[in-house]
Amino acid sequence: MKKLLMMTTLTALASFPLRAQEKLTVPFRDPSMPRQLVVDAMLGAIQVTGYNGQEVIVESTAGTEGPFRGPRGKQTPVPPGMKRIGGNNAGLDVTEENNTVRISTGLWSARSDVKVQVPVQTSVRVKTMTGQQVRIENVNGEIEVENMNGEVNVLNVSGSVVAHSANGKITVSLNNAAIDKPMSFSTMNGDIDVTLPAAMKANLVMKTENGGIFTDFDMQIDSTARAPKVVDNRPKGGRFSIRSDRATHATINGGGPEIQFTSFQGNILIHKK
Amino acid sequence: MTCEETKLLVADYVSGEMEGSDELAYEAHLDSCPSCRAETSRVDMLWKDLALLPREEPGGAVRGRFYDTLRAYRQGMDAVPQRRWPVWQMAAAAALLLVGIAAGYLVRPGREVAELREEVTSMRQLVALSLLQQQSASQRLRGVSWAYRAEPNDTEVLDALVTAVNHDTSVNVRLAAVDALHTFAASPATRRAIVESLPRQNTPLVQVALIDLLVDLKEREGTKELRALTVGDSVNDGVKQRALWALEKLQ
């Protein structure tokens, strides 16, 4: 026990400051253990790509290009004849702790596009407010993405994906699904376009308020799940209620872990790979 | 001994858990390698400092959960039969089986079945509660799907779901948790939790899910919160319309 405690203490925090337009290489503490990348950025596009290596390579194009964003994200154009040379903290913070590399930007920092390369076997968690797209490619692990305003593209990956966009489209293409890991895709105003392995076993729960649901899978639609459920608690002094499920339930290849698709305005498209 | 091997063994060395011959080889390497020597003394210092750390005391919830798990485990152990099968025991077992069948006819499912059911329920509760605390969103989604299997009056699972609806970092987990609240709809605590959660949410999809749940449950207590949503400045248009629709439905 004491030894375990010591080993965890040994993997204490390491921090790497990254200034604008710099390229930084961060090693994982223990390459034999599961790796994770966490990106928490307010503005700018984010791209994470798996590559054949052992380290995290971070590139940022943050800096003096484009309009200046002040408090509350207000844009200030660069005055004519002048150029901006600084004044807004454009830096990224990169830390490594217990095999998790964490990249974050300041609350009101200038727009910074971030490009990250990670070993293929890495779990990735990205959270951002940006109106730009988030793109994750060629990784194998647990993937979690939330983009408040922009598109989410998770392409050519394996493992499991949980993705949300408030206003953008979600596109996911999965090569191999992790066994027994639930997944979930949700967007308020965009389409959800997901490509799954042809042999994948799953239970699908699909819900869209104003869109359509389309697929080329041979889906077993479960019509009993849609039938209104009657709950009668009157004998116990409770209420009587009828609940009609708004979701469409179906299985592919006999069923398996649950995948949820939720959109309000958009379509749901489920392709067979 | 190489530097690589030294790195693997440094913990054993400083904790004094090394065999005599290994220890000699290790020290021989230290004599010849300044960097490993420095690393070893650094780890050694850390090892000694660790002894000075105050002991972590588990909080009340951890203690409760531990004893729940222990109890469930013990109940499970008691149910496991001893595995020794000499011939005469077989005969005795057969005789007992007959007595059992006879008793079964006479007694009918009673206490034991109830106990077994209770055990299964508490296992489900444990699985749901522990999965809901995992770091990975996918695991927490699994926790939510286990919550569906809990008893409708299980307040611990209900509390965990409400916490997920209000505080989970993942929108998708919050959405799934709202759906799972249907299971607990009969309880007034659930209805209160839904109404209280409405003004806390700022993700449109979760707001819509909560509104739909209020309509499904024909819960009229939330009209004040719904009205607030229809006039809020920062409220999404789709959510506003949904709230108006809900107010009409609940009239």
Residue A187: CATH number of its domain: 2.160.20
User: Looking at residue A7, what is its pLDDT?
Assistant: 44
Boundaries of domain holding A36: 2-62+87-201+208-215+255-272
Q: How far apart are CA A110 and CA A62, in angstroms?
A: 7
pLDDT at A9: 40
Residue A235 lies in a domain: no
Asked if A9 has any chain B CB less than 8 Å from its own CB, the reply is yes
Residue A81 domain-assigned?
no
Q: Is residue A242 part of a domain?
A: no
Residues with Cβ within 8 Å of residue B89, at least 6 apart in sequence: none
> How many interface pairs between A and B have CB atoms less than 8 angstroms apart?
101
| List of chain B residues whose C-beta atoms are within 8 Å of the C-beta of residue A258 | 141, 145
Query: Looking at the complex, does the CB of residue A123 fall below 8 Å from at least one CB of chain B?
Result: yes
Residues of B in contact with A187 (CB under 8 A): 205
| Nearest in space to B43 (alpha carbons), one of B81, B70, B84, B15 | B15
Interface test with B, best of A260, A265, A268 (most B CBs within 10 A): A260
Put simply, whether A184 touches B (Cβ < 8 Å) is yes
Q: Which residues of B touch A237 (CB under 8 A)?
A: none
- Chain A: residue nearest B140 by CA? A182
For chain A, give the secondary structure using H, E and C. CHHHHHHHHHCCCEEEEECCCCEEEEECCCCCCCCEEEEEECCCCEEEEEECCCEEEEEECCCCCCCEECHHHCEECCCCCCCCCCCCCCCEEEEEECCEEEEEECCCCCCCCEEEEEECCCEEEEEECCCCCEEEECCEEEEEEEECCCCEEEEEEEEEEEEEECCCCEEEEEEEECCCCCEEEEECCCCEEEEECCCCCEEEEEEECCCCEEECCCCEECCHHHCCEEEECHHHCCCEEEECCCCEEEEECCCCCEEEEEECCCCEEEEEC
- Yes or no, beta carbons of B172 and A162 under 8 Å apart: yes
Report the residue of A36, A170, A231 to disrupt the B interface, i.e. the one with the largest count of B CBs within 10 Å.
Answer: A231
The answer to whether A265 contacts chain B (CB < 8 Å) is yes
Report yes or no for ipTM above 0.85: no
For residue A163, give the nearest of A204, A173, A200 by alpha carbon: A173
The answer, yes or no, to whether residue B111 has pLDDT greater than 80, is no
Query: Quick check: A30 contacting B, CB < 8 Å?
Result: no
Is residue B207 very low, low, confident or very high in pLDDT (cuts 50, 70, 90)? very high
Tokens of B84: 């020794």
Element (H, E) at B244: helix B237-250
CB burial readout B195-214, b (16+ within 10 A) else e: bebbeebebbbbbbbbbbbb
Check residue A8 and give its pLDDT.
43
Q: How does pLDDT run across B89-100, given as a tens digit for each residue?
A: 778 878 888 887
- A184 with B218: Cβ contact below 8 A: no
CA B88 to chain centroid, in Å, comes to 46
pLDDT tens track for A76-121: 666 777 665 555 445 678 888 889 999 887 655 556 778 899 999 9
Q: What's the pLDDT score for residue B39? A: 84
Q: Which residues of chain A have pLDDT under 70?
A: 1-22, 42, 61-78, 82-91, 106-111, 130-131, 224-245
d(CA A61, CA A232): 60
Number of domains in chain A: 1
Domain architecture of chain B: domains with CATH: 1-52 (1.10.10), 54-131 (no CATH), 151-251 (no CATH)
Return the amino acid letter for A246: R
CB contact under 8 A, A243 and B138: no
What's residue A6's pLDDT? 45
pTM of the model: 0.69
A225 occurs within a structural domain: no
The CA-atom distances, in angstroms, between A185 and each of A108, B17, B183 are 28, 50, 22
> Which residues in chain A are contacts of B43 at CB distance < 8 A?
6, 10
CB contact under 8 A, A209 and B43: no
